[in-house]
Homo-oligomer: A and B are copies of this chain.
Amino acid sequence: MNVYNEQRISPTSIGGGQIRYKRIPNHIGVIPDGNRRWAVERGMEKKEGYYYGISPGFQLYEICSEIGVKELTMYGFTVDNTKRPAAQKEAFQRACVDAVMDLVGRNAELLVVGNTESPCFPRELIPYTNRVKFGDGRIKVNFLVNYGWDWDLNQKDWPASKDISRIDLIIRWGGRRRLSGFLPLQSVYADIYVLDELWPDFLPEQFYRALNWYQTQDTTLGG
Binding site for B on A (CB under 8 A): 1, 37, 78-81, 83-84, 149, 153, 176-181, 184-185, 187-194, 217, 221-223
Contacts and interface: CB of A to CB of B under 8 A. Distances in A.
A217 B80 contact: no
Contacts of A194: 177
15 contacts: A1-B37, A79-B222, A80-B222, A80-B223, A81-B222, A83-B222, A84-B223, A153-B153, A177-B191, A177-B194, A178-B190, A178-B192, A179-B187, A181-B189, A184-B185
B193 A177 contact: yes
Contact of A188 (B149, B177, B192): B149
Q: 3 closest A-B pairs (Cβ-Cβ)?
A: A80-B222, A184-B184, A181-B188
A153 B185 contact: yes
A221 to B, nearest CB: 6
Given A78-B222, A81-B222, A83-B223, 7 more contacts: A83-B222, A178-B190, A178-B192, A179-B188, A180-B189, A181-B188, A181-B189
B217 A192 contact: no
A217 B153 CA distance: 27
A177 B171 CA distance: 11
A177 B210 CA distance: 12
B178 A189 contact: yes
- Can you tell how many copies of this chain the complex includes? 2
Contacts of A180: 188-189, 222
A187 B189 contact: no
A218 to B, nearest CB: 8
A80 B181 contact: no
A221 B177 contact: no
Given A153-B153, A184-B188, A80 B178 contact: no
A189 B78 CA distance: 13
Contacts of A83: 222-223
A124 to B, nearest CB: 23
A111 B178 CA distance: 26
